[in-house]
Structures are given as C-alpha cells and as structure tokens.
Amino acid sequence: MTTSSRTLGEWFSEFGREAFRLETLDDYGQSSGLEAYHAFLAGEGQPESFKASAWVETVAEATRSGKRMYRVHVLARPLTDYLRFELAWGYHRNMAAGEEFFILDTTDREHPIPEAPDFWLFDDETVAEMHYDTSGTYTGADFLTGDVVTRFKAYRDIAMASSVPFTEWWAEHGE
C-alpha cells in the first residue's frame, strides 16, 4: 500500500525510534551538495554551507533526542569520485552529528540483496522507496506501509548482517 500524509522531510522530524537507509547507487552527485562535491574534486576545502547543512542539524536533533539514524551503503571498489566524496566528507561530517554508517562491500563477493532499491525505513513501519534518474538526481519517493514493509525489513537485516562499520572499512580501504 502506498500512503503517507507526511513528506520525506517531515518523516525525519517525526519518526519515533529509528530511521534506516539503504544506499545502492555509486553516484548521488546531482541530488544535493553540488558545491561541496565540486570543491572536493578540485582539492579545495569543505564549504561552510556543507559543514553546517540542514541535514547535519536534522541528524543532530534526532540523535540528541535518543533516536537512531543509520545506514548501509552497498558499494564495490574502486570507488567512484562521488563515493570518495561521500565517504570522505559526508559520512565523517554526519558521524559527528550522530549518524551511524556501515559498508556492504561487494568487491570480492556476491551481492546478497541485488534486488533491493534505495530506501528509508522509519520505525519498522513505513518505507520511503527512493527514486533517482540515471544521473543520480533524486526524483521522489513512494511511501509504503502494510505487508510490503516486511520485505524492506528483511533487506535491512541482510544488509546489516553483511556489512561492517564504516570506520573499520575506512581504516582498511579509505583514501
């Protein structure tokens, strides 16, 4: 069933316990943070607007109130330029605000959930299935509830069981 009277942005303020994200793409470069992405590619420092983004405050508010925000990114090496940026700058910035990150590296093994789309799972009750075009531009989300949520919870559980904490992965493979 597709239903939600809330926008995706509202879900980040209003979820009760936890928000889980599965990232499956190698490039979200056209979705947000273009100025920072270009600065990263040019070897420049992080723009202040990136350091103090609204997302950082959203994460900080949620985690300060005892909520858990965490994600698994499915990836394979070598990393794309965008993944190098996201992991080096974005993940480290968001970790400081309290978000947790895990990596499911499929470089040397079979992908355990190749059919899983990008999604957010809020409180094990509502899924926001994320949609992107071929350039990595976010095009919207479908909100799903009911029996279909069971499938997304299984994706989350497999992803978590198959991943390692980001800091552990980064210590071995980071740049």
For 84-123, write each residue's pLDDT tens digit.
999 999 999 999 999 999 999 999 999 999 999 999 999 9
Average pLDDT rounded to a whole number, residues 58-81 = 97
pLDDT for res 3: 54
Which pLDDT band, with edges at 50, 70 and 90, does 135 fall under?
A: confident
pLDDT of residue 137: 85
Q: How many helices (H) and strands (E) does the chain have?
A: 8, 7
Segment of 19-33, 94-108, 125-139 carrying the highest mean pLDDT: 94-108
- Calculate mean pLDDT across residues 24-32: 81
> Do the domain assignments include residue 2?
no
Distance CA 110, CA 108 (A): 7
74 pLDDT above the threshold of 90 = yes
Whether residue 96 is contained in a domain is answered as yes
- Is residue 35 in a domain? yes
Q: Please indicate, yes or no, if residue 123 is contained in any of the structural domains.
A: yes
Q: Do β-strands 100-105 and 119-122 pair in parallel, antiparallel, or remain unpaired? A: unpaired
Q: How confident is the model at residue 1 (pLDDT cuts 50, 70, 90)?
A: very low
Which residues, other chains included, contact 46 with Cβ-Cβ below 8 Å and sequence gap of 6+?
36, 39, 40, 89, 93
pTM, full prediction: 0.93
Domain that holds residue 74: 8-173
Question: Domain tally for the chain?
Answer: 1
164: in domain:
yes
Flag whether 55 is in a domain: yes
pLDDT (average), residues 70-95: 95
Average pLDDT over residues 120-145: 93
Which residue in the block uniquely carries the two structure tokens 């009760």? 16
Report percent pLDDT > 70 for the chain. 95
Residue with the bigger pLDDT between 6 and 87: it is 87
Whole-number pLDDT of residue 78: 96
Asked if residue 3 is part of any domain, the answer here is: no
Residue with more model confidence, 58 or 31: 58
- For position 155, which CATH number holds? 3.30.870.10
Helix (H, G, I), strand (E, B) or coil at 14: helix
